[in-house]
Amino acid sequence: MELQNSTRLIGYVIYGQFLTVKATSTLAGYTTVFGSATVTVTQDIPSFVAVSDITGVPTTKTAGASLVLSGTVAPANATNQTITWSIVSAGATGATISGGNTLTATAAGTVTVRATVADGTAIGTDYTKDFNITVSGRNNNNGGGRTTPTTPTPEPQDGGSKTTDLGSGNTVDTPPGRDPIQNEDGSTTLPGGGTITTPGGNEIEAPPGTNIADDGTITFPPDSGGMITTPGAIAPPPSEEGGSQGGGTTINVPPGTVIDGSGKISFPSGSGGGTITDSFGNTFNIPEDAVIFLDMDTPLSYFIGIDNPYGDISNSDWYYNAVLFAYSRGLMNGTSAAPMMFSPNATTTRSMIVTVLYRMAGSPDVSDLDNPFGDVEGGTWYTDAVKWAAANGIVSGIGGGRYDPNAPITRQDLAVILTRYADRAGITLPGARSYTGFIDDADIANYAKEAIERFFSAGIIGGYPDGSVKPKGEATRAEFAAMLMRFLESME
């Protein structure tokens, strides 16, 4: 057989070595082959057999022990059968692969590995298949049986709670006589609830019926919620009594909440989400489509992840992060629902700002408070917020017994109101930089000068590119979101 397409010939030789080349004349290296030379070959082409499956891969291992990964390629006569291994997801296991096929994991959880056969499907197309391997806690009894959780500590003489080791540094304190129950599937049930403590010091108040999977995933029952307390990564400010406010962040979660082994908190659909109260007393309503991430190993508090719900903002907008920050904490909602819009360039009204701060304060009962403003009607969406803000000295109105709730708020008034909120909460804003002034300082009202200076020093405002601050300019919703985010982050 004569082949004029020598380039294809060499390609086959490189990939599968399926052709045996027999030249009838002496060739001057590969350059002659890639030219127009005619090469005579004998046809000796075995048929290619693709990989259809990989079986027999182990699915369990013990933390701290090594596992040699292996599998069986089907069919047995597949042309290529060499398996290489890689990790797709290590989760909380700390898994690594060394020596090409030796899997090691340091903690309980689930690791996903990928088996690959090069050119397994076709020449130039690999065959891949993923496998989940469950890593159980370390075996401490030298007997080969599963020991997660370990035997509970002896019950204290005073009838107090028991502490049980759940593996990977996690423990649970349970009520007397309500020991954890180990299930056949490797999970653990808390019949009387308990307090789960992670290596990083997070405490999870779990209700009765909570299930803890072998990979560390905690699932609350469908009829009971729970509470998580982080140890706090910062020292809280002094309270009004002169002592410490103490503690870190408290997260209240609804029934059916799931906390996976890495610290990701997910809310079930229809639950309404949860609430977060930080060490300063600020309360945030977290929507159910948000995800909270805890650091389970070190006391680094939390962060919130959420998809962008708005059709009129994108990640290229300068205010993108600020808008999602405000939305993910239940502080600012959209201006329309179908489609959901934020209206970043719309103005922020005086009623909007006090409503946000009222939510942050936990929406306390104001039924016993008087309404000092004649232009604030009862029963509106902002009535309680205005009453609360007035009673706490955060707003004082525009004079004449009026608040003017629907008027746009100016940048200087926004700074004043936020500093008053901080003072009410006993929060000291940082003074990281000296006030250098703006080109329009003369336009700042006397009552707002201190607030503007404090906000500049704290890095909450920086002015416009031309060096102005535009104190009497109307704050847009995007500007308000940005100032609010910086204001709250300055406390952390």
111 with 249, same domain: the answer is: no
Residue 145: inside a domain: no
340 with 480, same domain: the answer is: yes
Q: CA-CA distance, 469 to 438, in Å (whole number)?
A: 6
64 with 190, same domain: the answer is: no
Structure-block tokens of residue 227: 């509470």
Q: What is the pLDDT along the chain (492 residues), one digit of tens a residue?
A: 333 333 333 332 222 333 333 333 333 333 322 233 333 334 444 578 898 999 888 888 776 667 788 888 898 888 888 898 898 888 777 788 877 788 877 777 788 889 998 888 888 888 999 888 887 764 433 333 333 444 444 444 445 678 888 877 788 999 988 889 888 888 899 999 999 998 878 899 999 999 999 888 999 999 999 999 887 643 333 333 322 233 478 999 999 999 998 889 999 999 999 999 988 888 999 999 999 988 766 555 678 889 999 999 999 999 999 999 999 999 999 999 889 999 999 999 999 999 999 999 989 999 999 999 999 999 999 999 999 999 999 999 999 999 999 999 999 999 999 999 999 888 888 887 888 899 999 999 999 999 999 999 988 988 899 999 999 999 999 999 999 999 988 875
Structure-block tokens of residue 34: 């890639």
Burial class (CB in 10 A: 0-12, 13-18, 19+), 178: middle
124 with 205, same domain: the answer is: no
User: What is the reported pLDDT for 236?
Assistant: 37
Residue 155: inside a domain: no
Structure-block tokens of residue 417: 């109101």
Nearest of 39, 44, 42 to residue 6 by alpha carbon: 39
482 with 337, same domain: the answer is: yes
Nearest of 25, 22, 18 to residue 41 by alpha carbon: 22
294 with 172, same domain: the answer is: yes
CB-hemisphere CA count at 13 Å for 487? 26
364 with 453, same domain: the answer is: yes
CB-hemisphere CA count at 13 Å for 128? 11
Preceding amide of 191 cis, omega within 30 = no
CB-hemisphere CA count at 13 Å for 150? 17
346 with 420, same domain: the answer is: yes
Q: Give the residue from 136, 152, 170 where a domain finishes.
A: 136
For the chain, the domain total comes to 4
User: What is the reported pLDDT for 301?
Assistant: 64
Q: CA-CA distance, 455 to 462, in Å (whole number)?
A: 8
Q: Give the residue from 305, 329, 364 where a domain finishes.
A: 305
Structure-block tokens of residue 314: 């994108």
Residue 280: inside a domain: yes
Query: For residue 31, which phi and psi values (nearest 5 degrees)?
Result: -60, -35
Helices (H) and strands (E) in the chain, counts: 8, 30
Residue 314: inside a domain: no
268 with 379, same domain: the answer is: no
CB-hemisphere CA count at 13 Å for 299? 14
33 with 74, same domain: the answer is: no
pTM of the model: 0.62
Residue 154: inside a domain: no
CATH number at residue 106: 2.60.40.1080
The size of the chain, in residues, is 492
User: What is the reported pLDDT for 108?
Assistant: 78
Asked whether the beta carbons of 188 and 194 are under 8 A apart, the reply is no
The boundaries of the domain holding residue 102 are: 53-136
Query: For residue 295, which phi and psi values (nearest 5 degrees)?
Result: -90, 110
290 with 341, same domain: the answer is: no
Nearest of 215, 214, 197, 41 to residue 206 by alpha carbon: 197
Q: Which residues contact 15 (CB under 8 A, 6 or more apart)?
A: 119, 123, 124
β-strand pairing of 264-266 with 274-277 = unpaired
350 with 255, same domain: the answer is: no
What torsion, rounded to 10 degrees, do the Cα atoms 99, 102, 106, 107 define? 140
CA-to-CA separations, 127 to 86, 103, 118, 121, in angstroms, rounded:
13, 21, 7, 5
Residue 384: inside a domain: yes
Q: CA-CA distance, 193 to 175, in Å (whole number)?
A: 8
Burial class (CB in 10 A: 0-12, 13-18, 19+), 59: exposed
Residue 147: inside a domain: no
